[in-house]
A and B are shown apart, each in its own frame.
Chain A
């Protein structure tokens, strides 16, 4: 679940740990950052040296060439144009899929009847690879924005739905009993216990869905589009422009990181009691 978050979490955990022992040249967080930068820089250098020598640059291009394409497409505005379209699709898909996922997750988690009723349907749809729906969505929504949003939303929906559902189910029955003793009705229990306790799970679901939102959008563009990073990708590939392919991949990665950062900020805003946990030292 925490694949994307681990490096930051690791840095945060390392920070208070080593501090008091003895003064070092750099704070641990900075040291780690420098090592990470050195590693990436080293890989780029190796890549640059390999291409054209050991491996044909037709296959792997070379960092300088990719950088040149990025600079060029940034300057003529086309990169930003394509990126903004993909970002829009992914964001809309993320919001629509996330909202529906939360809604259904809470509904099914809260109502056993509904969960039992819909269980087989959920199992079927969940086992379906969501990108396989692309042809169907083209028939339904055409080849415009809606189809990519739908594809992205379909993927995000299930991840968020399953997480929310699990979260609602995992709520502490003891806390519910304590509140019911205070005279709480079902609405009180839902709003004061179930929803806040499920939030952790909801955000875990949202965080893992970020790359999938982009997958939905990009795959949709690969299928049918002349705009967006997916289209840029397939055009570059059609012209055997390997550097262009890598530049598009780079832009997709940056988008994913940005969206991920937005989710993280939202998470600390919405769950301040969790962010408090991060700063505090581990106690048992």
Chain B
């Protein structure tokens, strides 16, 4: 799967990092999303999709 994030849209909620901390992190200074893994293994699909659905800025795109 392919994941991308839009750091300009991100509102630093941290919900992605709470849901899939192997894929998303937050910058220490301002909490903006950082992508740790742009090609996570397929078994992470459900969590990554949850993170995308739960993002309050719609800043996460997932292509299975």
Are the chains A and B members of one assembly? no
Which residues of A pack against B, CB within 8 Å? none
